[in-house]
C-alpha cells in the first residue's frame, strides 16, 4: 500500500492559488515559491524533491483523471519529451518571464501605465480589474502580479490540455522548472542531459 504523506495534499495549492488570484491579484506573488523552491532544492540539495514530492500542479494533474476520468491516457508524442522541445519551451518560458520583468520595469520607471488584465496563453487579454484596487501597492508590484498570474494560468491551461489529450502528467515532460532542475541535478551529478 502507498503511504499517504502530508505532502500528498499539495494538489490543493494550485487551486487555492488561482482562487486567491481571482479575488486579489497580489497573491500572484506567492507563485514565486513554485519557481524558487525547486531551484533551491536542486542547487543546494542536488535533487528534484519538488517535482517528486512537492509539486501541487503535478499532483493535481495526477489526481484529476483518477477522480474525473478526464484523460485519454495515451502516450504523448515522443518529441514532447525530447531535449530539443524541452529546451525550446524553457527558452520560450524564460523569454515570457523576461517580458514580464520588462513590463514591470516600464511601469516602475513611469514609461508605461498599469494594465489591469490577464493575458491568457500569451494571446487573449482578459479583464481582471476586480482583483485589484489601485494604490494598494506600488503600480510595478501590481503589474508583476498580473503578468506572473497570466504566466501561471496559461501554463496550467496548457498542462490541463495535455493532461486530457495524453497521460495525466504529460506537462511534466516539458515543464520549464522540471527541465531547469534536471539540468542542475545532472550537472551536479556529472551527467549531461543529452548523453
Partner 1 sequence: MASKRYALPDRKRCVSCGACAGECPRNALSIWRGCYAVVDKTACVGCGICQRTCPANCIVLIPREDPQ
Residues forming contacts to partner 1 in the complex (CB under 8 A) are: 1-2, 42, 46-49, 51-53, 58, 62, 73, 75-76, 78, 80-81, 86, 166-173, 175, 178-179, 181-182, 184-186, 188-189, 191, 195
- Name the DSSP letter for residue 110: T
CB of 94 to partner 1, least distance (A): 18
- Nearest-CA neighbor of 140 among 183, 192, 187, 103? 103
- Which is closer to partner 1, CB of 21 or CB of 178? 178
Please, which residue, 56 or 178, has the CB nearer to partner 1?
178
**CB of residue 6 vs partner 1: minimum separation in angstroms?**
15
CA distance 154 to 137: 24
To partner 1, the closest distance from the beta carbon of 65 in angstroms equals 11
Phi then psi dihedrals of residue 134, to 5 deg:
-55, 135
Comparison of 119 and 167: residue with beta carbon closer to partner 1 = 167
Q: Where are the alpha helices (DSSP H) in 47-138?
A: 49, 56-68, 83-109
Largest CA distance in the chain: 58
Amino acid at each position: 500500500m502507498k503511504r499517504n504523506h502530508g505532502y500528498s495534499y499539495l494538489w490543493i495549492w494550485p487551486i487555492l492559488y488561482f482562487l486567491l488570484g481571482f479575488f486579489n491579484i497580489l497573491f500572484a506573488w506567492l507563485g514565486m515559491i513554485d519557481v524558487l523552491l525547486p531551484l533551491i532544492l536542486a542547487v543546494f540539495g542536488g535533487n528534484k524533491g519538488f517535482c517528486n514530492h512537492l509539486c501541487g500542479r503535478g499532483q493535481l494533474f495526477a489526481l484529476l483523471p483518477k477522480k474525473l476520468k478526464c484523460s485519454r491516457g495515451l502516450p504523448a508524442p515522443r518529441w514532447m519529451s525530447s531535449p530539443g522541445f524541452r529546451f525550446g519551451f524553457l527558452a520560450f518560458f524564460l523569454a515570457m518571464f523576461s517580458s514580464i520583468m520588462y513590463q514591470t520595469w516600464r511601469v516602475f520607471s513611469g514609461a508605461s501605465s498599469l494594465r489591469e488584465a490577464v493575458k491568457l496563453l500569451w494571446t487573449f487579454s482578459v479583464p481582471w480589474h476586480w482583483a485589484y484596487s489601485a494604490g494598494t501597492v506600488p503600480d510595478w508590484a501590481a503589474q508583476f502580479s498580473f503578468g506572473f498570474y497570466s504566466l501561471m494560468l496559461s501554463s496550467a491551461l496548457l498542462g490541463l490540455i495535455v493532461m486530457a489529450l495524453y497521460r495525466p502528467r504529460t506537462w511534466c515532460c516539458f515543464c520549464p522548472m522540471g527541465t531547469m532542475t534536471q539540468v542542475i541535478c545532472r550537472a551536479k551529478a556529472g551527467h549531461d542531459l543529452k548523453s
